[in-house]
Structure 1
Amino acid sequence: MAGVTNVVSTEKWGEETEKHMDVDSWRKQIYLDTIPWEHSRFRELLEKYSGIPQDQVTAEIFKIRAKAWEVAKYPCIGSLTYVRLLEFRDDNPEMRTVIDRMKAPGSEEAFLDIGGFIFQTIRRLAFEGVDSARLYGTDLHAEFIELGYEQFRDRETLKATFVAGDMLLPDDEYASSALAKTLAGQISIVHAANFFHLFSWETQLVICERIIQFLRRGPGARGPAMILGSHLGSLKPGKTEFFGAFLHDETTFQSLWDEVGKKTGTCWKVNLRVVSSEAPKLNVFGDDTRAVRYVVTELAPEI
């Protein structure tokens, strides 16, 4: 496996990065005062899963958002895009496949949400009837895990396993981390949304290799290992000026996973589709940016 160099491990959003930001200007660009998105699935969670009165839902969303913004000023937090839960729309069949695999009789499948923020995806899966004992979540910020419990009011009922940790620690530190020890060999389905577009090609490569270490081998999986989610791609893929992040189209994302496969002795098929005809209004990557959804499926290695 590729080692994590100092260059790679520092190419990520963090407190040091935010020290150099014009926070007031960033807030004006990103921090919305209303929810412009259709968010009925998120509202349904708060009303029916969390038991929050209908007339208090919006206030509760903004209360948790304000606390999360103080932890990290990610665009998806300020712009409230996380409340959309787009992966559960009828025109996104990938998540229905996940639910079917997780709920199949005798299923031992385990689902991991990487960079899950307050883990709204995990709560929605639990609401859909998935056994929460087979749901896992990780984020760099332990505070987001706590805010998830506060938002959804399920600390005593949800059985999911959450672990805070940095996927980009140097190799020795990472190997002994709670993140690596908790997840190694446990997972069959991985979800990562608004995640890959934060990192350079080299950093994405390390992340993918470590994801593969999470995957379960041998009995227990009903289907091939699968990584799915969404991020910002580009009509002109390549390295951006923003943190040196690399934005993909289907060809470059396949190339990334081809390189991962060569390093790990695995084989992967990428399916990526553009889901927006124009650049998102709130994005830092330019006019060629497009929202994309992806599924990466493990194939049998070529003989």
Structure 2
Amino acid sequence: MASITNTVNEGKWGKETEKQLGVEDLESWRNEMYVNTIPWEYDRFRELLERYSKIPPNEVEAEIFKIRNEAWGLVKYPCIGHFTYVKLPEFGGDDIEMQKAIERLRAPDSQDAFLELGGFIFQTIRRLVFEGVDSTRLYGTDLHAEFIELGYKQFRDRETLKATLVAGDLLLPNEEYAGSELACTFDGKISVAHASNFFHLFSWESQLVICERIIHFFRRDLSAKHPAVLFGSHMGSCKPGKTEFFGTFLHDEMTFQLLWDTVGERTATRWKVEMQIVGAATSKPNAYGKDARMVRYVVSQVAS
């Protein structure tokens, strides 16, 4: 397995590395990354709060702003400041992979389990429950335990949600990671994983470590008909490589395939990448450069 040292963890994205993101100039960062109105269509998120969480319609927007502001006070991610997480585009009907995942999870006698990586307040998990998926087979993880708590506050389901949500760092050094709650909870249990606005937060080297650990999350008994699948969307690029501002790595289909080929060689597994551009990067915030593009991807295990 690729290794991460105790002293170098440049791919970790969170409170520990905010200074690397320009957040020390807080006013400038806020002007770029924080908005006072929700700039997107968010009917699916609103529907969750009204019908799943039973929040009165006239209170929904205030509740969204309340939790967003608490989250921004913890970590100043662009997706928090700009309300990216309320879009829920995977449930819009044109994301075939999410529909396939729902079908697998809702099938009679299904034993499949779903994992949300970098789930923030785990809005995707709640939408799956709303779509009729058994929450006992839903798992999620994020670097920040505070986000898990904010999810319970946002969706008001602490007593009813049976999903397993674990805070942890996928870039812990090998020895520490082996005994971590992440490894102990997820290894060998997952059929389908989802990660959006995730990979573009990390360097190439960190992505190698993360992907290898994701592979260990997957069950060993999956079939060619129902293989291990990871899917989602993230910021890619027409000119893949290391970003100037964040120092993270943006992919096109060829480089993402190369990443998974490399990890496949290390784990004696094979993976097929499919990727499509779904839109240009938004003009604000866009710290990823003029060649950045929002892409949708699928990584499927290839039977030996």
Query: Which range, TM-score by smaller chain?
Result: over 0.9
**CA, structure 1 residues 194+7, in 2 after alignment: closer, same or farther (shift >3 Å)?**
farther
Distance in 1 between residues matched to 2:222 and 2:297, nearest whole Å:
26
Q: CA deviation at 1:26?
A: 0.6
Match of 1:141 among 144, 148, 160: 144
User: 2 CA distance for matches of 1:52 and 1:220?
Assistant: 42
Task: Tell me which stretches of 4 or more aligned residues in structure 1 moved more than 4 Å.
Answer: 219-222
Cα distance change of structure 1 residues 178 and 202 upon mapping to structure 2, 3 Å threshold? same
2:261 equivalent in structure 1: 258
**How many Å apart are 1:242 and its aligned residue?**
2.7
d(CA) in 2 for partners of 1:283, 1:6:
31
Cα RMSD of the aligned pairs, angstroms, is: 1.4
Distance between the aligned counterparts of 1:101 and 1:267, measured in 2?
22
Q: Are the equivalent residues in 2 in contact too, given 1:11–1:243 (CA < 8 A)?
A: no
Q: Distance in 2 between matches of 1:52 and 1:96?
A: 27
What does 1:242-281 align with in structure 2 at a 5 Å threshold? 242-276=245-279, 278-281=280-283
Q: 1:152 aligns with which of 144, 155, 162?
A: 155
Please tell me whether the aligned partners of residues 193 and 231 of structure 1 are also in contact (alpha carbons under 8 angstroms): yes
Alpha-carbon distance, 1:219 to partner: 6.3
- Specify the code of the residue in structure 2 equivalent to 1:14: G
Q: Displacement of 1:279 after TM fit?
A: 2.6
Q: Could you say what secondary structure the match of 2:31 adopts? A: helix
- Matching residue of 2:110: 107
> Partner residue of 1:97?
100
CA contact (8 A) 2:222 2:228 kept: no
Give, as a single letter, the amino acid of the residue that structure 1 aligns with 2:247: G
Is residue 108–residue 221 contact of structure 1 (8 Å, CA) maintained in 2?
A: no
Identity rate of aligned residues, in percent?
A: 66
* Structure 1 residue 199: Cα displacement: 0.5
> Matched residues in 2 for 1:189 and 1:180: separation?
16
Conserved? CA contact 2:224–2:303, under 8 Å: no
Structure 2 vs 1, CA of residues 273 and 8 (structure 1 numbering), >3 Å: closer, same or farther? Answer: farther
2:13 is the counterpart of 1:13: yes
Tell me whether 145-154 or 21-30 shows the greater mean CA deviation: 21-30
Residues 1:37 and 2:40 aligned together: yes
Unpaired runs of 5+ in structure 2?
none
Whole-Å Cα distance in 1 between the matches of residues 223 and 59 of structure 2? 42
Partner of 1:118: 121
User: 1:163·1:178 contact (CA, 8 Å) conserved in 2?
Assistant: yes
- CA shift, 1:267, in A, is 0.4
Partner of 1:216 in structure 2?
219
Deviations 1:4-58 (A, max 9, x none): 1357623222323224621111111111100110010000000000000001110
- For 1:292, give the aligned amino acid: V
Would you say the 8 A contact 2:235–2:281 is kept in 1? no
Counterpart for residue 61 of structure 1:
64
Superposed counterparts of 1:167-206, under 5 Å: 167-206=170-209
* TM-score normalised to structure 1 length: 0.96
Aligned equivalents of 1:189, 1:7: Cα separation in 2: 32
Instruction: Kindly tell me the number of residue pairs found equivalent between the two proteins.
Output: 300
Supply the distance in 2 between the matched residues of 1:128 and 1:158 (Cα, whole angstroms): 14
Amino acid at match of 1:195: F
| TM-score, reference length from structure 2 | 0.96
